[in-house]
Amino acid sequence: MTTGRVCVIGGGLVGLATALQWLRARPGAALTLLEKEPVLATHQSTHNSGVLHAGLAYRPGSAKAALAVRGIGLLTGYCRDRGIPFEICGKVVSATEPAEIPRLRLVEEQGRQNGLTGLRRLPSPAAIRELELPFRGEY
């Protein structure tokens, strides 16, 4: 285990999460975080779509797939512990033309292999509208 002084450069999501995990594993250790702006996370981390990526699109067995699935658990747990609101509203993935249907099936299969639960096929456009209804106008 590393015991020397550690410096994390960049106070966005990646730097802050790295610093947090490092300190959790070494309570009382010293860590320096360097951020060039006067406030943390003023760049990409506060200018994104705010979506928890579910791991649907990532190749099974890849680091991206494993990290996305594990990351959702870690992030939602972090938010629950601190009373930070979040919403698991689901995601609709659709084919817009018949040629895309094989790709859609691949995405579904990848999602299953990546360990996602709650995946289901919607039978009709009306079912999509019904699913989206509670969220209309919120974004």
Ligand X SMILES: Cc1cc2nc3c(=O)[nH]c(=O)nc-3n(C[C@H](O)[C@H](O)[C@H](O)COP(=O)(O)OP(=O)(O)OC[C@H]3O[C@@H](n4cnc5c(N)ncnc54)[C@H](O)[C@@H]3O)c2cc1C
Q: Closest residue (Cβ) to ligand X?
A: 12
In whole angstroms, what is the distance from residue 103 CA to residue 112 CA?
A: 14
How distant, in Å, are the alpha carbons of 3, 22, 25, 110 from that of 28? 11, 11, 10, 41
Q: Which is nearer to ligand X, 1 or 51 (CB)?
A: 51
Residue 9 structure tokens: 């450069």
Taking the complex as a whole, the smallest distance from the CB of residue 105 to ligand X amounts, in Å, to: 25
Q: Which is nearer to ligand X, 45 or 113 (CB)?
A: 45
Cβ closest to ligand X, residue 36 vs residue 82: 36
Contacts to ligand X by CB under 6 A: 9-15, 34-37, 41-45, 48-51, 53
Of 90, 59, 60, nearest to 72 by C-alpha is: 90
Q: Say which amino acid occupies 40.
A: L
Taking the complex as a whole, the smallest distance from the CB of residue 71 to ligand X amounts, in Å, to 8
By the 10 Å C-beta count (0-12 exposed, 13-18 middle, 19+ buried), 121 is classed as: exposed
Q: How far is the CB of 123 from ligand X (least distance, A)?
A: 28
Strand partners for 7:
32
Residue among 74 and 101 whose Cβ is closer to ligand X: 74
Q: How far is the CB of 126 from ligand X (least distance, A)?
A: 28
